[in-house]
Structure formats: structure tokens, C-alpha cells
Structure 1
Amino acid sequence: MKPLQQPLLLSCYTATSCIGTGLAATRQALAEGRSGLAPCDFETVTLPTWIGRVPQLEEVVLSPALIDYDCRNNRLALLGLLQDGFVDAALAAVKRYGAARVAVLLGTSTSGILETELAYRARDPHTGALPPAFHYRGSHNIFSVAEFVRHVIGATGPAWVTSTACSSSAKVFASAARLIATGVIDAAVVGGVDSLCLTTLYGFNSLELVSSAPCRPYDAARNGISVGEAAAFALLERAPAQPASGAVLLSGSGESSDAHHMSSPHPQGLGARLAMEQALATAGLTAADIDYINLHGTATPSNDAAEGQAVQALFGAATPASSTKGATGHTLGAAGGLEAVFSAIALADGLIPGSPGTGTLDPAIAIDYQRRPRPAALRHVLSNSFGFGGTNCSLVFSRAG
């Protein structure tokens, strides 16, 4: 099959989550099949649940020039940007192409809403006014994280934040591919940042989707998610005619909106299957070409059942698959970007990640689910990200050489 999308080079990428700050720590945790989930100790939350909290995030301090953007989400973004030479790579891209030719496209679900939650708690008891120090544009505003990253790297090209729940930071890879294909830009910083807050913890709990134990994707007794936080970034550029051996490429992307229900997936995963089929088509691949699937795998009963049906219908039971959310928790708007980086690590290291926390597999889901990490020669990896309201996105990453 002829690919419909020109491959893009992931010239630099990085990830920060509860399993590690930067690539080295993340690689080690994935290779060991280690989880970073711990009992919830965030803020004033009293829920009996486990979370994926980034260590030392409270120690991050923004420079005076960026103080208007001070919030947990942007501090997490900065911590992520400073890893693995990513800022230097982005600055070099701005110098190489020109500031107006570099886009910043990011995903998040709640941005810096924690600052609003804290400000509301401290509002004036007589007037109800929020504290004067509260700065909505630099925190709660959904565009805040993209504006912040633009300031850090000096890019002035197209910039936006996608907020389509859990597919947010996967969809920006597809957006960047379209912008580069049409000649609007030459490079893009893509990824996602989502941080812990009261809204998501109590909100998912009100939907009865939060587990009281570490989440167990695709387990027969799975009963909900563990909420996490993360920052993940990739620098996308046109791939050279002969990419270096071992280089990681974005080779395909697929999106769909099945709009089956506000918060439940289509029971047969029809939208999920459409996104996967489109990703394969744009990459010029068949299902048999995929060597590993990073599943969305949130550990809710309905999500895993629906995704499992879609994967089984398209791939059968021959393609190894796993969900890494047992390691990091569900990082919501950052999940797509984080798991894109996990896919890149899998290709670069020849590793199929495991699924920490998963014990007894659900016998009703007939796929080749991997509970423990193992080495494998990988050429093509599919990564799934499916959000509330049926906003689905699948990405194909490939190893050159």
C-alpha cells in the first residue's frame, strides 16, 4: 500500500511522569515493568485512590520573566522541557527554520485549573472576589501551556491547545502532520501536559470511574482508573530521504468522532476501529505490519471491553499489545503524548512494555495482551488514545533502517 502521509522525524522527544523525569528514568521503569502509582496524598483530597504524582514538581520555580504563567501545569511543562536537551533542540529548530515556521501544538484537559480551585478557596468572604494575585490567562486558560512553551523556545508560528479529553495530545501529532504537509510550517513542538487537580480526581470519582487500588488494565476484575500527571514533548520535522538507521518516524495518523455517548465508548469500539484503520491507511500499512499496540487501556470495564473488541476485529489475537497506564496512571490530556514517547522508546530499545498491576486477564477479550515487558524487534508500533464523546486518535510510529 502506498502511504498517504509523508513520514515525519521525531528529532527529539522526552517524557516526565510518575515513573521518571526524562528518558533515562522512563526507559528503566518501562524495562523493569515498574509502576509509579502511590496512595493519594495530593492537596486536600480524601478519596481512597491511587495517583501518579510527579516527584519534586513542587520544587520547580519559574523565572521572573515567566511568573505570570506560574501554575502547577506550567511548572510541569517546564520540568519536562528541561529534560533530554529538548529546549536546546527546539531553540535550534527556531534558529534553523525561523520563529514563524515552528508551531507549538499541545494537548491538555484541565490546564492550570488547580490555580482557580485554590483561588476560589481564598476568595473574599464579603464580595466573593478572587485574590488579586490570581492570573487566569497564565493558568486556567486552556491556551496557557502553549503560550508558555512559545515564550520558552521563542517560536511564533501557529499555536493552539487541543482539549478533546484523553485524545488531546495524540491529535496534535496529526495536526502537525497536516500543517507540515501543506507547507505552513517546517517543524512543530507537539505533546501534552496535564497535572493533578481537584476537578479531575473528584470528577472521575463522581462518575464512579476511579479505582480504590492501583488500576488494572484488561484485568478481569478491573474497576476504574488511577489519575496521573505528565508532560511529554516531541519535535517533529520532515524526514530526510534516507533517515538514519534507528530513527523514529511518525508514519501514520487516524482520527474519528463516533459521538456514541458523552462518557462511554461505543460498545463495539466502532470509532476506535475507524481511527486505527485510518492510521494504517495513511502509513501505507496493513494490520499484519504492526508489531506492538500501545492500548488506550484505562482499566474501566467499558473502555477495555470496547477497545479490545475493536483490536480483536482488526488484528485478531496475533499482535502483542499492552496498556502502560498501570505504570503511570491515566494522565488524561497528556496520555497521547506520553504514550507516543513510550512508543518511540519501544522502537528505539526493542522493547514491548508490560502492564504493571494487571493480574488475571479478562478471558472475554481475545487479544495477545502482554503483562510483563520483554525484548522484541519492532518496526511499526500503533498507539491508541480515545477520549470522552468518542474523540478517537491512533498514531503509527516506525523505526527507520
Structure 2
Amino acid sequence: MEEQGKVLFLHDLGIVCALGHGKAEVLANWLAGRRPEPAPVPWLATAIPALSVPGELPPLPPGLADYDCRNNRLLLAALGQIEPAVRRALEQYGPHRIGVVVGTSTSGIAEGEEAVGMLRTTGRMPAGYHYRQQELGGAAEFLARHLGAQGPAYTVSTTCSSSANALASARRLLRLGVCDAVLAGGGDALCRTTLEGFAALGAISKTRCNPFSRNRDGTLIGEGAALFLMSREPAPVALLGAGASADAYHISAPRPDGSCAKAAMQAALRDAGLAPERLDYINLHGTATPQNDAMESRAVAELFGGGIACGSSKPATGHCLGAAGAIEAGLCWLLLSESNREGRLPPHLWDGELDPEMPRLGFAALETRRSKPLQYCLSNSFAFGGNNVSLLIGHA
């Protein structure tokens, strides 16, 4: 049934994360190996360090105050970078032909935490609180109402693969002819529930995010948002393949042998019609947790060997949970863009001490360059419950 254009194009990107606001700042900081310093979040009552988005975020329009939360402000900051292109699509195709698909795992839970805290101490909810602030579906609904888009609008929540799944879902809407353009991506804001939940799992690093090192002791949580405008109209960069698998091995631990992660990557390659050796770069899931890194290294080594350049962006952005898939796909989009004509690769940030129980991968170093612009990148997002997604982004 999916016959209306196999290749779907990623026309523009809006992105905010710990590396900065906008394409130019984020790419420059990532390629330079910038590693933001984790710190306790001033607006959350917890001492757990995290990587927050710097600077001010735009306020929501007065008519949409019921949706006001940091998560939606992150999404609005990302949208603001590409809104002219989205408005042109609305005018070209009509509001009913524009969809909105967003991935998130926290939505406005931080605002809900604050409201419940006030209720416990005063017996009253905050005057400005509305449940739409923390409703998972509120993210896509807010963007659709802000834009006046009237096509399908929904939120995907599969924890750490949420926005990777959102991009794959947006592609299906276009292939089926339901939409002519889709605003797709994800956003997640920091909250106590996430930080203290990961800390309770023993998954937060006591020092720095150190993926694939023998000394790794956990991840760092980040926040951010990334949104793409996707359509059938040709553009330089496309979503060429998407692969998914679900191992259902454990509620939080991955299948140790990496077989289901490998299946997701294989499915993305098949979908794109690309041989493994054609890849230029893999953005690894790379959380720096013991089990995730171990299984991913096995899966990548079995499928690609050690010759493909790769690395984890999480030391630079933090693990942005529901937004991670879109942000990391966005980072790959930036590597493939005109802004990286020199073929530079981002450095894998770690202490260089390989775990002897894991295979050696082709981790990129600072100032690594290709002799020509990059063509194909793979981005991995592996989530709780074994919900795995790999996206293959490249020049069509």
C-alpha cells in the first residue's frame, strides 16, 4: 500500500539541545568536541546533575497558555527555526494535508510535579496549571493548533526511541498519501521523575558520560527538541531507511547478545537498499551504561566489523530520552548538509580505555575528515522494553 514515493525528504531542521540553539551552533560545537558541563538543574528540586538547554526559551502565544510547559517551549524554539518553511507548506498543500507527529517521554511532567507539590503543601493547584501541560498527546496537539495544521496530529511515546519512531511514522503518512508534508520530530524536558528514576536504576554516571569505556558507570540525562519538515518534494537529504525491532527481553535491560539491535539496523539497510560497507558514519545509541554499550558494540561489530566510523553524541547532548532519536537524526542531517562539505566527523568523547570484553569499533577522533562529503549515516535509538529503531539518512 505504501506506493506514493519510497524516498521521503527531510527539507529543514530546527534543533535545540545542550550544544546550543540552531543548526550552525549545534554543528560547530559537536564537531569541535565541546562537552557541556553537567550540573544540577536550577528549576528542579534535585541535586542530580544533567545537561540542560542554555539560554531563554520562547513563550507560548497567549491563546495556547493551557499548553505552557518547558517541553512545549523547547518544541517552539525548534519550530521557530523552520516555521517559514512549514508555513509555506501549509499554503502550498492546505492545512488538511499537513500532519504533525512528535515523540516525547516526559511532556510537561515537570509542571505536573510542581503542581502536585503545591497541592500537597497548600491544598490548591497553581492558578495557571492545566492538565494539557503534561499530557503526552499535548505536544503534537500544541504544534498543530499553533500552526493551524489540520491533518493527523499525534504523539508517539516509546521511551528512548519515541522520536525515531515518530519520524518513521511520519514517513508512513506520506507514503500512504494521507499527508503531503509532515512536521516530525520530538522533544523532552528535564524533570525529577526522569532524573530520580534513572538514578534509582543506578544508570546515572557519578562523573561523566563515558560510552564504551571499561570505566563507564552510567549516562547523563539531557533535554532538547528537534523537528523536521518531511515531504515527497526532492531535497538534498532524505530518510532513506527505517528499521525497528522489539525484543521484549526485559522492562529496562536490553537483550545481551544484541541480536534485536542488529535486526533493526539490518532492516534499515534493507529498506534503503544499501550494503553495510556504504555507510560513512554511525551515531551509536551509546548511553555509557554497562549493558547497553556491551550489546550495541556486539551488534555493530557483527554487522559492520570495526571499519565504519562511529561515535556516541550523548557525552555532548546528554541522553535526551524521547527527543534523542530526532536530535541524533538531526545531528546526522547536519553532517550530510552543505554546512559540512569538508566531510568532518564528530569525535567520540571518552577516556579511550576500551572495555576488553567488547569488540573494538571505529570510534572517530577529533578533526577526523573524509576526502569527500558524507553520503550515508545511520542513527540508533534503543529503548526500554527492547523497542529498537535505526534510521538511515543520506543523499537520495
Q: TM-score category by the smaller chain? A: over 0.9
Cα deviation, residue 366, structure 1: 2.3
Identity of aligned residues (%): 43
Q: 1:92 aligns with which of 67, 88, 92?
A: 88
The residue aligned with 1:295 is 284
Are residue 192 (structure 1) and residue 186 (structure 2) matched? yes
Q: For 1:253 and 1:32, locate their aligned partners in 2 and report how far apart those are by CA, in whole Å.
A: 29
Paired letter, 1:78: L
Are residue 133 (structure 1) and residue 131 (structure 2) matched? no
Q: For 1:375 and 1:14, locate their aligned partners in 2 and report how far apart those are by CA, in whole Å.
A: 25
The residue aligned with 1:63 is 61
Cα deviation, residue 56, structure 1: 1.9
Q: Could you say if the C-alpha distance between residues 35 and 125 of structure 1 is closer, same or farther in structure 2, counting changes exceeding 3 Å?
A: closer
Q: For 2:66 and 2:59, locate their aligned partners in 1 and report how far apart those are by CA, in whole Å.
A: 12
The residue aligned with 1:121 is 117
Deviations 1:29-49 (A, max 9, x none): 0120111232223334443x5
Q: Could you say if the C-alpha distance between residues 44 and 183 of structure 1 is closer, same or farther in structure 2, counting changes exceeding 3 Å?
A: closer
Runs of 5+ consecutive residues of structure 2 not aligned to the other structure? none
Deviations 1:209-233 (A, max 9, x none): 0012121111110110100001101
Cα deviation, residue 309, structure 1: 0.5
Q: 1:307 aligns with which of 274, 296, 299?
A: 296
Deviations 1:41-73 (A, max 9, x none): 3334443x531111124x532221221111111
The answer as to whether partners of 1:52 and 1:226 remain within 8 angstroms in 2 is yes
Runs of 5+ consecutive residues of structure 1 not aligned to the other structure? none
The answer as to whether partners of 1:5 and 1:251 remain within 8 angstroms in 2 is no
Aligned length: 387
Paired letter, 1:112: G
The answer as to whether partners of 1:4 and 1:281 remain within 8 angstroms in 2 is no
Cα deviation, residue 75, structure 1: 1.2
The residue aligned with 2:271 is 282
The answer as to whether partners of 1:239 and 1:249 remain within 8 angstroms in 2 is no
Q: Write out aligned runs for 1:42-81 (5 A).
A: 42-47=42-47, 49-57=48-56, 60-81=58-79
Report the secondary structure of 2:393's partner residue: strand
Q: For 2:331 and 2:391, locate their aligned partners in 1 and report how far apart those are by CA, in whole Å.
A: 12
The residue aligned with 1:227 is 221
Q: For 1:291 and 1:4, locate their aligned partners in 2 and report how far apart those are by CA, in whole Å.
A: 28
Paired letter, 2:125: L
Report the secondary structure of 2:144's partner residue: helix
The answer as to whether partners of 2:156 and 2:162 remain within 8 angstroms in 1 is yes
Paired letter, 2:349: P
The residue aligned with 1:360 is 353
Q: Could you say if the C-alpha distance between residues 136 and 275 of structure 1 is closer, same or farther in structure 2, counting changes exceeding 3 Å?
A: same
Q: Write out aligned runs for 1:159-174 (5 A).
A: 159-174=153-168
CA RMSD of aligned residues (A): 1.8
Q: For 1:394 and 1:5, locate their aligned partners in 2 and report how far apart those are by CA, in whole Å.
A: 20
Q: Could you say if the C-alpha distance between residues 101 and 281 of structure 1 is closer, same or farther in structure 2, counting changes exceeding 3 Å?
A: same
